[in-house]
Amino acid sequence: MTLRQKRYLSLALMACGIFLMFLLRKDIAGIALLAAGFVWNITMVHCPKCNEWIEQHPGEFCRYCGAKIDWDGKKE
């Protein structure tokens, strides 16, 4: 799974959680999905070189080590 796919999955989980919480009033399930998306993002979206978390506003380069981030390359 590429970094871009991991990021989109985390955003989709968080969006579904927000949808459940605010539109369908399913608070527990919504909070669970929101938390799952956040945890997925924190644990899976890392710089391939230095392994630091790529925060909420990612760029082309890692802000910690300066390595170019290949968003569409699969981690070996």
CA distance 69 to 76: 14
DSSP state of 56: S
pTM, to two decimals: 0.79
Q: What's the confidence (pLDDT) of residue 75?
A: 63
Q: What's the confidence (pLDDT) of residue 76?
A: 52
Largest CA distance in the chain: 43
CA distance 13 to 65: 29
Tens digit of each residue's pLDDT (9 = 90 or more) over 11-61: 999 999 999 988 888 889 999 999 999 999 999 988 889 999 888 667 899
SS3 76: coil
β partners of residue 53: 46
Determine the distance from the C-alpha atom of residue 55 to the mean position of all C-alpha atoms in its chain, rounded to a whole number: 9
Q: What's the confidence (pLDDT) of residue 27?
A: 87
